[in-house]
A and B are shown apart, each in its own frame.
Chain A
Amino acid sequence: EAAVTQSPRNKVAVTGGKVTLSCNQTNNHNNMYWYRQDTGHGLRLIHYSYGAGSTEKGDIPDGYKASRPSQENFSLILELATPSQTSVYFCASGDENWGRDAEQFFGPGTRLTVL
């Protein structure tokens, strides 16, 4: 069974503080992704990675950094958190082979509130 876990599951941060969201996958997938979900906007891609050591900017990367230290782990970093970054964040992993078996597996999500 595909497994993507995220920590923490809930986080309250203060404006200007640093926040790190962690993601771990045991699927042995090369690709990992960070999305945020907001009503009216759906799922929007923040950063993604093709493998350990690589990070790429998605559609809304401003204010976020990403780190992929290993195949299994992918972190999202908010150096200076702002209230506009209050959202639900999902991590996902996927196979690099976008063939007929292509699918992304999502973690349970992290609810972040920035006060």
Chain B
Amino acid sequence: GDSVTQTEGLVTLTEGLPVMLNCTYQTIYSNPFLFWYVQHLNESPRLLLKSFTDNKRTEHQGFHATLHKSSSSFHLQKSSAQLSDSALYYCALSEGQGGRALIFGTGTTVSVSP
């Protein structure tokens, strides 16, 4: 079945350094939609960014990601981490039109220190 893999459970870094969170997926569907959700402490998940276009960079709130269907990847990046970026990040996959629901990865916790 479809699946999403996030290899890092915890990423710790210093403010100002770049961030990269890995996300790979498996699906039989040829036109998947990929999402990044962010969840701050004691809050609910909310959409950070999304993409369904191959090889097109998507940006929002300083973060960016590019869907690469050739490698089944949708890595999240930011050039300079801020303290407020400390949160739990989920990569998610949708099968597209008529799809059942989002399939989430296990999440990556990002902890940014001064």
Question: A residues bordering B, Cβ < 8 Å?
Answer: 31, 33, 35, 40-45, 48, 56, 58, 90, 94, 96-100, 102-104, 106-109
A44-B107 Cα distance, complex, nearest whole Å: 11
Task: Report yes or no: A102 in contact with B107, Cβ–Cβ below 8 A.
Answer: no
- 12 sample A-B contacts, Cβ–Cβ < 8 Å, listed by A number: A33-B101, A35-B104, A40-B9, A42-B90, A42-B105, A43-B104, A48-B101, A56-B100, A98-B33, A98-B94, A98-B96, A100-B50
- Among residues of A, the one whose C-beta sits closest to the C-beta of B102 is A104
Task: Report yes or no: A103 in contact with B47, Cβ–Cβ below 8 A.
Answer: yes
Task: Report yes or no: A106 in contact with B101, Cβ–Cβ below 8 A.
Answer: no
A91-B44 Cα distance, complex, nearest whole Å: 10
Task: Report yes or no: A98 in contact with B98, Cβ–Cβ below 8 A.
Answer: yes
A90-B46 Cα distance, complex, nearest whole Å: 12
- CB proximity to A under 8 Å, residues B86-105: 90, 94-105
Within the complex, the shortest CB–CB distance from A114 to chain B, in Å, comes to: 21
Within the complex, the shortest CB–CB distance from B3 to chain A, in Å, comes to: 11
Task: Report yes or no: B44 in contact with A102, Cβ–Cβ below 8 A.
Answer: no
Within the complex, the shortest CB–CB distance from B1 to chain A, in Å, comes to: 9
Interface flag for B111 (CB, 8 Å): no
The 5 A-B pairs of least Cβ separation, nearest first, read A106-B44, A42-B106, A43-B104, A42-B107, A103-B47
Task: Report yes or no: B101 in contact with A41, Cβ–Cβ below 8 A.
Answer: no
Q: A100 contacts which of B45, B52, B103 (Cβ < 8 Å)?
A: B52
Q: B90 contacts which of A43, A48, A56, A58 (Cβ < 8 Å)?
A: A43
Q: A98 contacts which of B9, B43, B44, B97 (Cβ < 8 Å)?
A: B97
Q: Which of B46, B102, B105, B106 has the most CB of A within 10 A?
A: B102
A97-B44 Cα distance, complex, nearest whole Å: 22
- Among residues of B, the one whose C-beta sits closest to the C-beta of A104 is B102
Task: Report yes or no: A40 in contact with B106, Cβ–Cβ below 8 A.
Answer: yes
Within the complex, the shortest CB–CB distance from A103 to chain B, in Å, comes to: 5
**Given A90-B44, A103-B47, does the pair A48, B100 have CB atoms closer than 8 Å?**
yes
